[in-house]
Amino acid sequence: MGALLRGFILSVRGRGGWLVVLGAGFSCCLSAAVWIKGGDVSSLAKGESLGGVYRTAGGTRGDALAILAGNGMNLVRLRVWVASPDGFHGSADILPMARRAHALGLRILLTFHYSDTWADPAQQTKPAAWAALSAADLRTAVYSHTYALCAALAAQGTPADYVAVGNEINDGMLWPEGRLSAQGYAFSALAPYLQSGISAVRAASPTTAVVLHIAQGGNWDTVRWWFDGVKSEGVAWDYIGLSYYPYWHGTLAALESTVTQAAEYFQKPVLICETAYPFTLSAGDSQSNIIGLSTQLTAGYPATATGQAQMLRAIFDILDRVPAGRGAGVIYWDATWTVRTGNGWNNIDATSGNNWENQALFDYTGRALAAQAVFAELPALAAPYFSARDMAQTAVCGDLADPDGDGAPNLLELALAADPRVAASRPSVTAQPLALNGDTYFSLIYRRPSAAAGIDYRVFTATTPAGPWLENAIPVGTPLPIGTAQLWTYRGPMQLAPAAAAPAAQFMRIGVTRVPALTLP
Domain-located, residue 376: yes
* Residue 367, SS3 per DSSP: strand
Burial (CB count within 10 angstroms: exposed 0-12, middle 13-18, buried 19+), residue 487: middle
Closest CA to 291 of 306, 307, 302, 280: 280
Task: State how far the Cα of 358 lies from the Cα of 377, in Å rounded to an integer.
Answer: 23
Task: State how far the Cα of 378 lies from the Cα of 367, in Å rounded to an integer.
Answer: 22
* Residue 483, SS3 per DSSP: coil
- As a whole number, mean pLDDT of residues 81-98 equals 96
Domain-located, residue 80: yes
Asked if residue 468 has a cis previous peptide bond (ω within 30° of 0), the answer is: yes
Residue 342 vs residues 82, 320, 435: alpha-carbon distances, Å: 20, 38, 66
Residue 10 vs residues 24, 126, 279, 400, 505: alpha-carbon distances, Å: 7, 61, 50, 19, 15
Q: Are 230 and 166 found together in one domain?
A: yes
Q: What is the mean pLDDT of the chain?
A: 89
Q: Are 15 and 96 found together in one domain?
A: no
Q: Are 69 and 104 found together in one domain?
A: yes
CATH code, 53: 3.20.20.80
HSE-up of residue 460 (Cα within 13 Å, Cβ side): 19
Last residue of a domain, one of 363, 393, 423: 393
Q: Are 104 and 250 found together in one domain?
A: yes
Q: Are 352 and 459 found together in one domain?
A: no
So what's the pLDDT on residue 430?
A: 85
* Residue 161, SS3 per DSSP: coil
User: Tens digit of pLDDT for each residue in 234-253?
Assistant: 999 999 999 999 999 999 99
Domain span at residue 497? Answer: 3-30+400-514
Marked catalytic residue, from 48, 168, 377, 413:
168
Give the DSSP per-residue string, 11-62. Answer: EEEPGGG-EEEEEEEEEEESSPPP-EEEEE-TTHHHHHHTT--EE-TTS-EE
Closest CA to 493 of 513, 507, 503: 507
So what's the pLDDT on residue 408?
A: 85
pLDDT over 60 at 362, yes or no: yes
Q: Are 295 and 337 found together in one domain?
A: yes
Domain-located, residue 133: yes
Instruction: Estimate to the nearest angstrom the gap between the alpha carbon of 26 and the chain centroid.
Output: 24
Closest CA to 360 of 342, 348, 383, 343: 343
Q: Are 182 and 286 found together in one domain?
A: yes
Domain-located, residue 138: yes
Last residue of a domain, one of 393, 428, 453: 393
Give the DSSP per-residue string, 384-412. Answer: TTS-TTGGG-HHHHSTT--TT-SS--HHH
Q: Are 215 and 336 found together in one domain?
A: yes
Q: Are 384 and 431 found together in one domain?
A: no
Instruction: Give the DSSP letter of residue 65.
Output: H
Residue 217 vs residues 212, 246, 361: alpha-carbon distances, Å: 13, 9, 21
Cα dihedral sign, 131-134-137-143:
positive
Cα dihedral sign, 170-174-175-179:
negative
pLDDT over 70 at 499, yes or no: no
Instruction: Please indicate whether residue 274 is annotated as part of the active site.
Output: yes
Q: Are 491 and 474 in contact (CB under 8 A)?
A: yes
Domain-located, residue 519: no
Q: Are 327 and 390 in contact (CB under 8 A)?
A: no
pLDDT over 80 at 349, yes or no: yes
Give the DSSP per-residue string, 441-466. Answer: EEEEEEEEES--TTEEEEEEEESSTT
Domain-located, residue 114: yes
Domain-located, residue 379: yes
So what's the pLDDT on residue 518?
A: 35
So what's the pLDDT on residue 516?
A: 53
Last residue of a domain, one of 366, 393, 420: 393
Residues with Cβ within 8 Å of residue 235, at least 6 apart in sequence: 191, 194, 195, 198, 212
* Residue 414, SS3 per DSSP: helix
User: Tens digit of pLDDT for each residue in 148-165?
Assistant: 999 999 999 999 999 999
Marked catalytic residue, from 48, 177, 274, 377:
274
Assign 513 a pLDDT band (cuts: 50, 70, 90).
confident
Domain-located, residue 352: yes
Instruction: Please indicate whether residue 357 is annotated as part of the active site.
Output: no
User: Tens digit of pLDDT for each residue in 296-319?
Assistant: 999 999 999 999 999 999 999 999
Task: State how far the Cα of 90 lies from the Cα of 46, in Å rounded to an integer.
Answer: 12
Assign 36 a pLDDT band (cuts: 50, 70, 90).
very high
Q: Are 172 and 249 found together in one domain?
A: yes
Q: Are 183 and 322 found together in one domain?
A: yes
Assign 433 a pLDDT band (cuts: 50, 70, 90).
confident
Q: Are 372 and 427 found together in one domain?
A: no
CATH code, 434: 2.60.40
Number of domains present in the structure of the chain: 2
